[in-house]
């Protein structure tokens, strides 16, 4: 479940307080507060339309909240764009796989690595030696990860030809290249056959044992039970309860939320796309 | 003051022509999701078709206008069937589609040049008499254009709002797949949309040529920038918005000549466009505006 | 004989200039995925600024314009390039900021058209629709050559510019910068999600491309000696796009190939068709545009990636690993040393 190395008195890695976000008349997220601790896989569950993806997008910075705060690793990131949060170590995967189609699997992995060297015109032109070195280190790391996820035969293939399951694996491997302090996983097992889902779950479990902190949105309660502690339950845009999966199973409200009403609130516009919606560009990090 | 009133008169004419053009353009963009850069050249084609109608078929002015409309309606229909439709069905990305229509526009323009060169032409039978009402001063042709435009726009509005075809069109604009599964004959309606929008391009092209007195091969291409400004300001993809946008832009352009030189009136349209995009990206009329937000 | 030589030299000049323009367009469209159909405005602006900085002070009787600083070569060219970049900065704020792709393209066109109309109507700015003439040729007094050798000299200058552009683009494409730009083209959300400042990268790419366009415009105006607003219309701008589509988008050699096929082959060689009977020069001129349009349509249908598609990137290091060879021959590090030594995130503070 959670890493044996976890210090239970550690400060939370990420904290959200009073987050709210509405789209038109729909209150996707209302006054949500949560915490996730280092070394754990914090689960985020709830019926369809509960606002889980929206909340994740708010944490990642892909959406700007109407109100509320987000604190990550000691920084107040509320006003930061997603790219600024990513540089601090907050990385997410997408509910629908987003490979960089007309680039190779290997190049996808290189984009995941965020050492940023050679990415300005000056550095690209004048400092070739340095970025070449960094690139080689990243390449080796990429090869190791690809091997670990059994994607090595596809290294030089364009990502767009990958099967759905392979794209899921690439999505995860690419995110790991960023060496994230906190990894946000939006339904990483969705749409994948059960065998592959188990394989992915094994990877996730192993990563956590190695110390990777994660927040995981997932519907399959078996997987949640196996991987996550604690688990946060959302309904109708708010946090309903949190605790271990056993505790939640005994919580009448939680059971009600899952078995009782059928929420047919339209899933947020975020479900398939996660385009950043910041209103104004910021010049510098 | 009299200049101001006179400019209102010109604004009326400009809005009338622009509304027809913007409506046609918006229909193509909104219904079939194609930003047609050849639209201006279609307008030019209409103007020259009317010229042919006059010289070859000896039509008088207004029959020539309808002849021009007819020709462009068929031309647009053919363009969709033979060129644009196949590209769209293939899943061509939106920017490539723009390049397709860009190329089409160039071809249309230079076919016209091949036959007529780069000269100015005018129609026969343009009366020189003016209709005056106080400071208001328009030619009889311009007045006719205004009335005709109002009738056509009203007719279109009634069609969309109250007829079965209108309902089907609205369904199609909302969600093509859904409309198809509800029994709407999307293919036939698409044909009709291209016929109607083509006719509008033709009519507005001839009207513009009449109102301007003389015209050349870049009549429509030059007008495009104003059409786009009106369409986007009004709410891209929204026909009602296009009409309102046309009124705003048309009047603004003409009335501004009271204070600033006439050669800058296109700049006025552009400023409105930019202000509109920055301040209210969804346009003046809150509609679906899908192709604005779509990627 | 001289006449023929001069003609070949003119073709050469157009080839090199269009190479430069194509490379710039490759940067903004092929790499960064910016949808711009109005690149010609930057060419025109660069041409104008180059002209008015190399001309002497304006004499309103002959032609009136701003500046007229008559500065020494190569400064007018550099200023022309810079002005292209500056114009890109201004326009970039408008349409890279809030607009999405379909919208982008058409608004760029509108802006460009209005800009040229304004220039044409402001006689004081760049001498209105009559345009500018008598632009001095670079280094004329320094390099004392007869007309034809001088033109050869000038074509040589433009060739150097094209080569520099080529070298620049080659380095960019192979660098992490090139990779980042392509990732933005593929999926902005992903690029953003992995720490890249998408707006800034797009803006910079746009500005560099604008500079290259401005330089191209400057070279043209110095060669032709004059410039009118009518000379660069929407259709002219289409030539660059057509060249890239046909030659190969996202491919530098493709840009050169396109520059050869479109402006040179189609555009210029049709001038060889003799005028006879009903076919006069105007008809032929119109025909070449129609031919270009048709060619673009054919390519968009049958081969949208162009003759030379984007090359697939391989990394020698990885290829060696995959085939079981020693990945880093000659280096002291072992594989895992190389990996675990990389926990230092070296250039992470780069404001990109």
Q: Same domain, yes or no, for A107 and A135?
A: yes
Q: Within an 8 Å CB–CB cutoff, is residue A112 touching chain C? A: yes
Q: Same domain, yes or no, for A67 and A203?
A: yes
- The subunits that touch chain B, with at least 3 C-beta pairs less than 8 Å apart, are C
Which regions of chain B are under pLDDT 70? 280-295
Evaluate whether residue B186 is within a structural domain: yes
Mean pLDDT is lowest, of B90-99, C102-111, C337-346, for: C337-346
- Write down the pLDDT at residue C108: 79
Q: Within an 8 Å CB–CB cutoff, is residue A110 touching chain C? A: yes
Residue range A254-260: mean pLDDT, rounded: 70
Mean pLDDT is lowest, of A61-70, A129-138, A170-179, B136-145, for: B136-145
Residue range A137-159: mean pLDDT, rounded: 93
Residue A253 has pLDDT above 60, yes or no: yes
The answer to whether the Cβ–Cβ distance between C282 and B103 falls below 8 Å is no
Between the alpha carbon of residue C8 and those of residues C1, C163, C260, C264, the distances in Å are: 11, 19, 13, 10
Number of domains in chain A: 2
Provide the domain limits for residue A125: 101-161
Q: Same domain, yes or no, for A17 and A41?
A: yes
* Closest to B258 measured CA to CA, from B3, B78, B81: B3
* Domain limit, last residue, from A161, A194, A209: A161
Minimal Cα–Cα distance from C36 to chain B, Å? 9
Of C103, C241, C289, the CB nearest to B110: C289
Query: Which pLDDT band holds residue A7 (cuts at 50, 70, 90)?
Result: low
Number of domains in chain B: 1
To test the contact with chain C by mutation, choose from A63, A125, A132, A140 the residue with the greatest count of C C-beta atoms within 10 A, namely A140
Q: Which residue of C has its CA nearest to A178?
A: C194
Residue A277 has pLDDT above 80, yes or no: no
Q: Within an 8 Å CB–CB cutoff, is residue C285 touching chain A? A: no
Of B95, B270, B295, the CB nearest to C111: B270
Query: Which pLDDT band holds residue A279 (cuts at 50, 70, 90)?
Result: very low
Q: Where are the alpha helices (DSSP H) in chain B?
A: 2-32, 39-56, 61-79, 85-89, 94-116, 140-162, 164-174, 176-181, 186-212, 219-235, 239-256, 265-279, 290-293
- Write down the pLDDT at residue C145: 67
Mean pLDDT is lowest, of A271-275, B164-168, C171-175, for: A271-275
Tokens at B157, concatenated: 């509005």
Q: Within an 8 Å CB–CB cutoff, is residue C208 touching chain A? A: yes
Evaluate whether residue B233 is within a structural domain: no
Q: Within an 8 Å CB–CB cutoff, is residue C110 touching chain B? A: yes
Q: Cis bond leading into C239, ω under 30°?
A: no
Q: Which residue of A has its CA nearest to C93?
A: A281
Evaluate whether residue B282 is within a structural domain: no
- Write down the pLDDT at residue C328: 63
Q: Across A221-225, C21-25, C58-62, which has the greatest mean pLDDT?
A: C21-25
Evaluate whether residue B273 is within a structural domain: no
- Write down the pLDDT at residue C102: 57
Instruction: Supply the CATH number for residue A247's domain.
Output: 3.40.50.300
* Percent share of chain A, pLDDT over 90: 56
Residue that is written with structure tokens 């060496």 in the block: A179
* Percent share of chain C, pLDDT over 90: 34
Chain C residues with CB inside 8 Å of A281's CB? 97, 199-200
Q: Same domain, yes or no, for A92 and A188?
A: yes
Which comes out higher in pLDDT, residue A84 or A283?
A84
Residue A275 has pLDDT above 60, yes or no: no
Evaluate whether residue A185 is within a structural domain: yes
Of C102, C106, C290, the CB nearest to B110: C290
Residue C331 has pLDDT above 60, yes or no: no
ipTM of the complex: 0.88
Query: Which pLDDT band holds residue C272 (cuts at 50, 70, 90)?
Result: low
User: Which residues between 317 and 336 in chain C have a beta carbon less than 8 angstroms from any beta carbon of chain A?
Assistant: 317-319, 321-322, 327-328, 335
* Closest to A276 measured CA to CA, from A33, A87, A85, A24: A85
Query: Which pLDDT band holds residue C341 (cuts at 50, 70, 90)?
Result: very low
Q: Same domain, yes or no, for A78 and A207?
A: yes
To test the contact with chain A by mutation, choose from C190, C195, C321, C336 the residue with the greatest count of A C-beta atoms within 10 A, namely C195
Q: Same domain, yes or no, for A125 and A148?
A: yes
Which sequence spans correspond to the domains of chain C? 2-302
Evaluate whether residue B248 is within a structural domain: no
Mean pLDDT is lowest, of B82-86, C178-182, C322-326, for: C322-326
- Write down the pLDDT at residue C168: 95
Which comes out higher in pLDDT, residue B79 or C61?
B79
The answer to whether the Cβ–Cβ distance between C300 and B274 falls below 8 Å is no
Evaluate whether residue A87 is within a structural domain: yes
Evaluate whether residue B292 is within a structural domain: no
Longest CA span, chain B: 58
């Amino acid at each position: 479940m959670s890493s044996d190395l976890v210090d239970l008195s550690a400060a939370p890695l990420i904290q959200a307080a009073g987050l709210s976000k509405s789209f038109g008349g729909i209150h996707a997220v209302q006054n949500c507060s949560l915490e996730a601790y280092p070394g754990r896989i914090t689960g985020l569950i709830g019926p369809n339309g509960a606002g889980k993806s929206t909340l994740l997008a708010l944490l990642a910075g892909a959406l700007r909240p109407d109100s509320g705060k987000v604190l990550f690793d000691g920084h107040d990131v509320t006003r930061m764009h997603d790219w600024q949060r990513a540089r601090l170590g907050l990385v997410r995967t997408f509910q629908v796989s987003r490979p960089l189609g007309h680039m190779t699997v290997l190049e996808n992995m290189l984009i995941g690595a965020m050492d940023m060297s050679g990415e300005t015109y000056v550095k690209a032109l004048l400092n070739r030696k340095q970025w070449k070195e960094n690139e080689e280190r990243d390449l080796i790391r990429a090869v190791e990860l690809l091997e670990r996820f059994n994607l090595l035969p596809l290294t030089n293939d364009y990502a767009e030809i990958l099967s759905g399951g392979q794209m899921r694996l690439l999505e995860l491997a690419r995110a790991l290249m960023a060496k994230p302090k906190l990894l946000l996983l939006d339904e990483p097992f969705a749409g994948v056959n059960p065998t592959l889902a188990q394989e992915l779950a094994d990877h996730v479990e192993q990563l956590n044992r190695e110390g990777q902190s994660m927040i995981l949105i997932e519907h399959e309660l078996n997987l949640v039970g196996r991987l996550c502690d604690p688990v946060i339950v959302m309904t109708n845009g708010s946090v309903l309860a949190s605790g271990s999966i056993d505790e939640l199973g005994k919580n009448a409200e939680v059971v009600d939320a899952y078995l009782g009403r059928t929420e047919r609130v339209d899933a947020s516009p975020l479900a398939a796309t996660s385009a950043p919606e910041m209103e104004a560009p910021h010049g510098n990090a | 003051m009299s200049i101001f009133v006179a400019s209102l008169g010109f604004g009326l004419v400009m809005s009338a022509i622009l509304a027809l053009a913007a409506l046609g353009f918006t229909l193509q963009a909104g219904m079939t999701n194609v930003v047609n850069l050849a639209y201006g050249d279609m307008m030019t084609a209409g103007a020259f078709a009317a010229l042919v109608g006059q010289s070859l078929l000896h039509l008088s002015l207004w029959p020539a206008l309808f002849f021009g409309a007819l020709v462009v309606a068929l031309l647009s229909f053919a363009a969709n069937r033979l060129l644009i439709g196949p590209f769209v069905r293939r899943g061509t990305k939106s920017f490539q589609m723009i390049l397709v229509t860009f190329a089409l526009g160039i071809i249309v323009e230079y076919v016209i040049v091949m036959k007529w060169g780069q000269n100015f032409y005018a129609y026969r039978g343009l009366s020189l008499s003016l209709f005056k009402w106080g400071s208001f001063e328009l030619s009889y042709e311009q007045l006719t254009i205004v009335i005709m435009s109002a009738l056509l726009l009203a007719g279109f509005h009634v069609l969309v709002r109250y007829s079965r075809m209108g309902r089907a069109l609205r369904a199609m604009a909302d969600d093509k797949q859904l409309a198809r599964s509800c029994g709407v004959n999307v293919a036939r309606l698409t044909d009709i949309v291209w016929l109607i929008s083509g006719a509008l391009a033709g009519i507005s092209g001839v009207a513009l040529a009449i109102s301007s007195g003389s015209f050349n091969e870049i009549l429509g291409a030059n007008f495009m920038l104003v059409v786009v400004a009106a369409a986007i300001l009004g709410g891209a993809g929204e026909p009602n918005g296009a009409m309102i946008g046309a009124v705003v832009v048309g009047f603004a352009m003409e009335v501004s000549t009271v204070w600033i030189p006439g050669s800058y009136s296109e700049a006025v349209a552009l400023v409105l466009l930019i202000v509109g995009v920055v301040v209210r990206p969804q346009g003046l009329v809150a509609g679906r505006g899908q192709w604005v937000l779509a990627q | 004989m001289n006449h023929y030589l001069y003609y070949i030299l003119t073709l050469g000049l157009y080839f090199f200039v269009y190479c430069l323009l194509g490379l710039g367009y490759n940067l903004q469209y092929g790499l960064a995925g910016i949808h711009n159909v109005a690149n010609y405005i930057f060419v025109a602006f660069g041409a104008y600024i180059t002209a008015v900085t190399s001309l002497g002070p304006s004499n309103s009787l002959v032609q009136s314009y701003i500046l007229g600083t008559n500065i020494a070569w190569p400064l007018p060219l550099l200023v022309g390039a810079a002005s292209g970049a500056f114009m890109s900065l201004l326009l970039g704020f408008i349409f890279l900021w809030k607009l999405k792709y379909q919208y982008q393209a058409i608004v760029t066109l509108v802006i460009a058209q209005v800009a040229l109309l304004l220039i044409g109507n402001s006689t004081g700015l760049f001498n209105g629709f009559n345009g500018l003439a008598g632009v001095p040729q670079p280094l004329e007094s320094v390099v004392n050559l007869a007309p034809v050798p001088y033109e050869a000299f000038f074509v040589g200058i433009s060739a150097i510019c094209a080569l520099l552009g080529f070298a620049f683009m080659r380095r960019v494409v192979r660098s992490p910068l090139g990779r980042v730009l392509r990732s933005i083209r593929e999926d902005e959300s992903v690029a953003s999600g992995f720490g890249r400042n998408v707006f800034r990268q797009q803006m910079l790419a746009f500005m560099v491309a604008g500079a290259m366009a401005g330089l191209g415009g400057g070279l043209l105006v110095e060669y032709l000696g004059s410039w009118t607003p009518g000379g660069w219309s929407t259709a002219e701008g289409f030539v660059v796009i057509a060249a890239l589509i046909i030659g190969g988008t996202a491919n530098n050699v493709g840009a050169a190939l396109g520059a050869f096929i479109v402006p040179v082959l189609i555009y210029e060689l049709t001038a060889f068709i003799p005028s006879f009977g009903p076919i006069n020069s105007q008809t032929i001129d119109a025909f070449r545009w129609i031919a270009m349009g048709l060619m673009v349509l054919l390519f968009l249908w049958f081969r949208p990636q162009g003759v030379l598609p984007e090359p697939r990137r391989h990394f020698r290091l990885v290829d060696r690993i995959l085939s079981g060879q020693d990945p880093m021959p000659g280096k002291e590090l072992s594989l895992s040393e190389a990996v675990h030594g990389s926990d230092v995130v070296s250039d992470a503070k780069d404001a990109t």
